[in-house]
A and B are shown apart, each in its own frame.
Chain A
Amino acid sequence: MGPQTDDRVLGGRPFSTLHFGLDDVDGVDPRQRLVVVGNGMAGARVVEEVLERGGGEQFAITVFGEEPHGNYNRIMLSHVLAGEEHEDDIVLNSHDWYADNGVTLRAGVRIDRIDTHAKLVHAADGTTAPYDQLVIATGSRSFIPPMSGLHTHDEQLLPGVFGFRTIDDTRAMLAAAATHRRAVVVGGGLLGLEAARALQGHGLHVEVVHAGTHLMNQQLDADGGAILRRSVESLGIAVYLATRTTEVVGPDRVRGVVLADGRTIDADLLVIAAGIRPVTEVALMSGLEVERGIVVDDQLRTDDPDVYAVGECAQHRGELYGLVAPVWEQARVLADLLTGTDPTAEYHGSRTATKLKVAGVDVATMGVNRPERDTDEFLVISEPRRGVHLSVVIRDDQLIGATLLGDTRKVAFLTQAFDRGTPLPEERIRLLVDLSDGAEEVGVAELPGESQVCNCNGVSKQAICDTVAGGCSSLSGVMDATRAGKGCGSCKSLVKQIVEWAADGDVLEDPTASWYVPGIPLAKPALTEAIRTQRLRSVSAVFAELAPGGQEDAKSKMGLTSLLRMIWGSEFEQENDAKFINDRVHANIQRDGTFSVVPQMKGGVTTPAQLRKIADVADKYEVPMVKVTGGQRIDLLGVRKEDLPAMWDDLGMPSGYAYGKSMRTVKTCVGSDFCRFGLDDSTQLGIDLETRFQGIESPAKIKMAVVGCPRNCAEAYVKDVGVVAVGSGKWEVYVGGAAGATVRKGDLLATVGSAAEVIELTGRFLQYYRENANWLERTYDFVPRVGLEKVKQVLLEDSEGIVLHLDEGIQRSIDAYTDPWGQDGRTPATPGQFSTALPLVELPKVPVR
């Protein structure tokens, strides 16, 4: 090895202090003896997990470690080598930690052999230690490929040759980097590339020799590897592929290497990072079953019932794991078993996902990196010029693998989908890129902290990250705490991404996310079923029967009112307190506590008589503002609550539903009556649609439009339901469009041959949406979530045999419709329904125009 410039014990004590563990007192300790062989990340983790389960009472624990140090984070060694971290900062468990927890640490003592009959471990220093339960966690060591001239006469590595596995290796390399100029790294995997980049940072000229045909061949496919090579080479690191190093030029110290093809590379420093091999000698010497690693069963037991193995040295179901996450899982299972916390705990293997930075390039991989069956879906996006290569493998609608190189913005979502099998977007490309709907989207990682995420409530990315850092790691928790995403809701997916990013994928699964309303722990299908079978016809009855403890929840009331109204139609038992104020007074509340009044104006068509009436009413009630709306109606704004019933009376027009989570309006163009381009009578069809579906409540508002030609003057392409005349009596029906905070062109559901068919299909779609959408989920989210193909199959081919049921459902609601203005105007539903809530003593603050 290289010159040892530092022999300080990492995580050691500044001064030697005597420590008497309980087990020093012979025959007194009634506890079982747990011996752990190996003080790396796996062994120490097992001890931590055992202690966490109260195992300190059950076991006298002794840990043997070959290195003299405490337990340190081996993953961070490349950061230490790069000078980004101080070695003290990578200590996980110092010597003091062991002492403080009553654990005997025998650091610097190698175990040679286990006598499984006598239940004794034999250490290299000649001592022995008895055990009742034994854990082998010997980890792995650098694989040194055969090459001539590597060793000196006394079997030591030639001066200038280094492995890269321990803190001592790292210290030696750091010392050498200061005095050497040219380095060759053998191995183009993760560790080799990290070493190369770190050494280059110390000013060395670095070349990488890799036996594989592409870099990081464990994780990347050939195309990804090729792109990584370009990125690495652009850093000034030369790469030699598909060749081995056959000879080290010496003889006194490293002077260069010779490759298999005869080329020679000058070098005064040689790093060997050609992979790792499990350390299995102890197990072999002790007669335990060893294949590539120490063979263990699902309880991490070797073929001796009292000997377990965990971590990189263990072979479970044929797999060796070199990542930390599986090791953590194994440690938890083993601790459950040893302490009896869960005597049936089993380890079933891990789905490994990893995210790292290799030579300055972001890489994230999980699962497989290429399709394995003919039916696997495989999507690749390759941008060699930018150094970006992204791919996903999907089997049976589940993500089974993903590789992200050069751009890991989507890693949080993909990790969740991979780990938990969360549903995938129908458009698979959205797994890999954010398809922007107009504005350029920035990855959450790059978003500056001060940038505002929720514009409605003024919440910055930093505020969200701080909340997560403060221990809140569920989406709903963060939303409650910051109010982010609680305004118009259009930023909710961004908030979700930031929470996932800030929690580094460790997001608490939010059980409430699947509930229809927050106060009833049921998803929509189960909730609907329960309401039907238990015949719950009022919101208070739903709370009494279905809420935990029968407790009502203010924020669930509006959604339940809407759902019950849909389910029961005219049999619904109204309760005014369960309605949002808009639905109580059939008008839209404004910022100063006044209301807006929008009379129905079907299809945007009005008459001089109607306009006169509106003008008279506006005069009579001193309406501060009269405005034409985006929905082709007339809005009377700033109306006092107590004036509402009299105004409706004077207007004598039905409500335009400009306030509810319901069908709002149908915009039309002038169609064929007057327009010289119009292909069909869009105006009449719009009026007919509005007449049929007026006021139908739904999970979120519904806007429609009908246009007489594809010029789209009434914006039918961006409506929840948009109808476009295409000539010869044919109409296109689009669904899922939007032109609000989200802009989305609707998907073509069908082209039909008559206005009657448009109305029928619209009714089916509305009912399907009403029965299946989440509360406040607009059609522009609903249609992509369900998938256009599915919607088509259900509505057009009746694949689920429910079309008749949908037709009946929508008809029931249509039959139950009554104009609310005619209903509540004369006799209030509750005392003081229209009494003012504000202003009481102050005057309105909104300026009158």
Chain B
Amino acid sequence: MSLTATSTTAAHVVGRVEDVPLGEGRAFVAGGTPVAVFRLRDGSLHATQAACPHAGGPLADGQTDVNVLVCPLHLYTYRWTDGSSPSGVTGVRVYPVHERDGALVVEVC
């Protein structure tokens, strides 16, 4: 539509894959943006904004399954697919994340 719509996405190496234990999440800063990176037991990687949009809870400390992330403070849930919440509140931002030679790469725009 316009030039501003062109991607300003930047890929950042935030750490090593083994920094995030299986099934858990850890917080990183990707180019100045706080992100929470999760490695599920099925090996898949997910990244979201670090703070819960509801009350600022530390999402990296949340619990997960293949479908959702649960914030530890008030147990709001967010879907991996698009960050939306089955609880009906504002969703979280999800960021593309992948592994490259053992490094965790998060794309933040």
Docked CA distance A557–B24 (Å): 12
B residues in contact with A577, CB < 8 Å? 21-24, 41, 63-64
Check if A526 is an interface residue, CB within 8 A of chain B. Answer: no
B23 contacts A837, C-beta separation under 8 Å: no
Number of interface residues of B (CB under 8 A): 43
B27 contacts A836, C-beta separation under 8 Å: yes
For residue B90, give the distance in angstroms from its CB to the closest CB of chain A. Answer: 13
Check if B74 is an interface residue, CB within 8 A of chain A. Answer: yes
Chain B, range 49-90, C-beta contacts under 8 Å to A: 50-51, 55-70, 72-77, 86-88
A456, A519, A581: which contacts B61 (Cβ < 8 A)? A581
Check if B29 is an interface residue, CB within 8 A of chain A. Answer: yes
Docked CA distance A535–B29 (Å): 42
A480, A481, A482, A838: which contacts B56 (Cβ < 8 A)? A838
B86 contacts A480, C-beta separation under 8 Å: yes
Given contact pairs A578-B23, A589-B73, A838-B56, enumerate 12 new A-B contacts (beta carbons under 8 Å).
A483-B88, A553-B65, A554-B64, A555-B63, A555-B70, A557-B63, A577-B64, A580-B72, A581-B62, A592-B56, A593-B57, A831-B21
For residue A440, give the distance in angstroms from its CB to the closest CB of chain B. Answer: 29
16 CB contacts below 8 A, A to B, read A554-B67, A554-B77, A558-B63, A576-B23, A578-B23, A584-B61, A589-B72, A591-B73, A832-B19, A832-B26, A837-B25, A838-B51, A838-B57, A840-B29, A840-B50, A845-B56
For residue B24, give the distance in angstroms from its CB to the closest CB of chain A. Answer: 5
B residues in contact with A540, CB < 8 Å? 23, 41
A residues in contact with B63, CB < 8 Å? 554-555, 557-558, 577-578, 580-581
Docked CA distance A617–B61 (Å): 25
Query: Nearest residue in B to A539 (C-beta to C-beta)?
Result: B23
Docked CA distance A481–B65 (Å): 19
B21 contacts A576, C-beta separation under 8 Å: yes
Query: Nearest residue in A to B72 (C-beta to C-beta)?
Result: A581
A837 contacts B65, C-beta separation under 8 Å: no
B residues in contact with A593, CB < 8 Å? 56-58, 61
Check if A552 is an interface residue, CB within 8 A of chain B. Answer: yes
A835 contacts B72, C-beta separation under 8 Å: no
A457, A555, A581, A841: which contacts B34 (Cβ < 8 A)? A841
Docked CA distance A269–B62 (Å): 74
Number of interface residues of A (CB under 8 A): 38
Docked CA distance A378–B29 (Å): 68
B residues in contact with A838, CB < 8 Å? 27, 34, 50-51, 56-58, 60
For residue B59, give the distance in angstroms from its CB to the closest CB of chain A. Answer: 7
Find the residue from B27, B36, B63, B86 having the highest chain A CB count within 10 A. B63
A837 contacts B22, C-beta separation under 8 Å: no
Check if B101 is an interface residue, CB within 8 A of chain A. Answer: no
Docked CA distance A715–B21 (Å): 43
Interface residues of B (CB under 8 A from A): 18-29, 32, 34, 36, 41, 50-51, 55-70, 72-77, 86-88
A residues in contact with B76, CB < 8 Å? 483
Query: Nearest residue in B to A841 (C-beta to C-beta)?
Result: B34
Query: Nearest residue in B to A540 (C-beta to C-beta)?
Result: B41
A480 contacts B87, C-beta separation under 8 Å: yes
Q: A577-B22, A589-B73, A592-B56 are in contact. Are A840 and B65 (CB under 8 A)?
A: no
A residues in contact with B77, CB < 8 Å? 554-555
Mark contacts of A457-500 with chain B using CB atoms, 8 A cut-off: 1 yes-contact digit, 0 otherwise. 10000000000000000000000111100110000000000000
Check if A243 is an interface residue, CB within 8 A of chain B. Answer: no
A residues in contact with B70, CB < 8 Å? 554-555
For residue B6, give the distance in angstroms from its CB to the closest CB of chain A. Answer: 27
Docked CA distance A552–B38 (Å): 15
Docked CA distance A481–B67 (Å): 17
Check if A575 is an interface residue, CB within 8 A of chain B. Answer: yes
Q: A577-B21, A593-B58, A831-B21 are in contact. Are A554 and B69 (CB under 8 A)?
A: yes
Docked CA distance A236–B45 (Å): 75
B75 contacts A486, C-beta separation under 8 Å: yes
For residue B56, give the distance in angstroms from its CB to the closest CB of chain A. Answer: 7
Docked CA distance A584–B62 (Å): 11
B65 contacts A552, C-beta separation under 8 Å: yes
A residues in contact with B59, CB < 8 Å? 837
B residues in contact with A841, CB < 8 Å? 29, 32, 34
For residue B8, give the distance in angstroms from its CB to the closest CB of chain A. Answer: 20
Mark contacts of A290-323 with chain B using CB atoms, 8 A cut-off: 1 yes-contact digit, 0 otherwise. 0000000000000000000000000000000000
B residues in contact with A580, CB < 8 Å? 63, 72
For residue A638, give the distance in angstroms from its CB to the closest CB of chain B. Answer: 14
Docked CA distance A116–B50 (Å): 78
Query: Nearest residue in B to A483 (C-beta to C-beta)?
Result: B87
A residues in contact with B20, CB < 8 Å? 831-832
Q: A589-B73, A593-B58 are in contact. Are A554 and B27 (CB under 8 A)?
A: no
Query: Nearest residue in A to B22 (C-beta to C-beta)?
Result: A577
Docked CA distance A838–B25 (Å): 12
Docked CA distance A534–B28 (Å): 40
Docked CA distance A483–B76 (Å): 9
B25, B41, B75: which contacts A552 (Cβ < 8 A)? B41
B24 contacts A576, C-beta separation under 8 Å: yes
For residue A520, give the distance in angstroms from its CB to the closest CB of chain B. Answer: 12
B residues in contact with A551, CB < 8 Å? 65-66
The 3 closest A-B pairs by CB, nearest first: A577-B23, A837-B58, A838-B58
Docked CA distance A591–B18 (Å): 28
B21 contacts A832, C-beta separation under 8 Å: yes
For residue A832, give the distance in angstroms from its CB to the closest CB of chain B. Answer: 5
For residue B38, give the distance in angstroms from its CB to the closest CB of chain A. Answer: 10
B21 contacts A837, C-beta separation under 8 Å: no
Check if A218 is an interface residue, CB within 8 A of chain B. Answer: no
Docked CA distance A540–B23 (Å): 10
Mark contacts of A556-572 with chain B using CB atoms, 8 A cut-off: 1 yes-contact digit, 0 otherwise. 01100000000000000
Docked CA distance A591–B61 (Å): 13
Docked CA distance A840–B49 (Å): 12
A552 contacts B66, C-beta separation under 8 Å: yes
Query: Nearest residue in B to A480 (C-beta to C-beta)?
Result: B86
Docked CA distance A456–B73 (Å): 12
Check if A793 is an interface residue, CB within 8 A of chain B. Answer: no
B residues in contact with A845, CB < 8 Å? 56
Docked CA distance A540–B70 (Å): 18
Check if A830 is an interface residue, CB within 8 A of chain B. Answer: yes
A residues in contact with B66, CB < 8 Å? 551-552
Q: A552-B41, A589-B61, A591-B55 are in contact. Are A835 and B26 (CB under 8 A)?
A: yes
A residues in contact with B65, CB < 8 Å? 519, 551-554, 557
Docked CA distance A482–B76 (Å): 11
B residues in contact with A840, CB < 8 Å? 27-29, 34, 50
Mark contacts of A180-221 with chain B using CB atoms, 8 A cut-off: 1 yes-contact digit, 0 otherwise. 000000000000000000000000000000000000000000
Query: Nearest residue in A to B59 (C-beta to C-beta)?
Result: A837
For residue A819, give the distance in angstroms from its CB to the closest CB of chain B. Answer: 22
Docked CA distance A228–B20 (Å): 70
B residues in contact with A552, CB < 8 Å? 41, 65-66
Query: Nearest residue in B to A590 (C-beta to C-beta)?
Result: B73
Q: A480-B87, A593-B58 are in contact. Are A837 and B27 (CB under 8 A)?
A: yes
Find the residue from B24, B36, B60 having the highest chain A CB count within 10 A. B24
For residue B47, give the distance in angstroms from its CB to the closest CB of chain A. Answer: 14
A residues in contact with B36, CB < 8 Å? 837
B residues in contact with A835, CB < 8 Å? 26-27
B18 contacts A831, C-beta separation under 8 Å: yes
B50 contacts A837, C-beta separation under 8 Å: yes
For residue A629, give the distance in angstroms from its CB to the closest CB of chain B. Answer: 20
Docked CA distance A835–B36 (Å): 12
Mark contacts of A522-535 with chain B using CB atoms, 8 A cut-off: 1 yes-contact digit, 0 otherwise. 00000000000000
For residue A729, give the distance in angstroms from its CB to the closest CB of chain B. Answer: 47
Docked CA distance A553–B23 (Å): 12
For residue B105, give the distance in angstroms from its CB to the closest CB of chain A. Answer: 18
A residues in contact with B57, CB < 8 Å? 591, 593, 838
Docked CA distance A554–B76 (Å): 12
Query: Nearest residue in B to A577 (C-beta to C-beta)?
Result: B23
B residues in contact with A483, CB < 8 Å? 76, 87-88
